Amino acid sequence: MWKEFKAFIMRGNVIDLAVALIIGAAFGKVVDSLVNDIIMPPIGLALGRVDFANLYINLSGQAVTSVADAKKAGQAVIAYGQFFNTIVVFLIVAFVVFLIVRAVNQMRKQPEATPTTKPCPYCVSTIDLKATRCPNCTSQLPTALPSTA
């Protein structure tokens, strides 16, 4: 069983997944800090000095001064400001993942296949590239330059 587990762990896919998970967790923290420390403060300032992280609805009926104080006291609150921050983090992460997937898909694109047919200039039917006469209208086709391949 140990050998089988070791073979599983040493496969390239598992190691790639582990690296992606670690980088993803670090990226999530960076984006979280970007939203909470850089993006949301100017937005809050522009909206009248609003601290989005501290917007909440108190469900307990007891007076609290912040979401942190309410959670510390075990009181029920709906922290919609933190939810809004989390939505912004999600949108940024989703956009970055979209850009990465798009870039990978562009790198994987197969080159277009070289055509093997062409339209007849007289009857517009499909004919082989090497044809010298159209099999449908029997027109003599213009001679093409000899290929160097």
3-class DSSP assignment, residue 140? strand
Find the helix or strand (DSSP H, E) in which 118 lies.
strand 117-119
Instruction: Report residue 144's pLDDT band, with 50, 70 and 90 as the boundaries.
Output: low
Please name the amino acid found at residue 27: F
Please name the amino acid found at residue 59: L
pLDDT of 143 higher than 80? no
| pLDDT of amino acid 87 | 92
| pLDDT of amino acid 83 | 92
Distance of CA 29 to the CA centre of its chain: 18
Distance CA 12, CA 137 (A): 58
Tell me what the mean pLDDT of segment 23-50 comes to: 88
Are 134 and 127 in contact, with CB atoms under 8 Å apart?
yes
Please name the amino acid found at residue 145: L
Are 129 and 143 in contact, with CB atoms under 8 Å apart?
no
Instruction: Count Cα neighbours of 38 within 13 Å in the Cβ-side half-sphere.
Output: 7
pLDDT of 15 higher than 80? no
**Average pLDDT for the chain:** 84
pLDDT in tens, 49-89: 888 888 888 888 888 888 888 888 888 888 898 899 899 99
What residue spans of the chain are helical by DSSP H? 2-9, 12-33, 40-46, 67-72, 80-108
Tell me what the mean pLDDT of segment 38-58 comes to: 86
End-to-end CA distance of the chain: 56
pTM for this prediction: 0.59
| pLDDT of amino acid 95 | 92
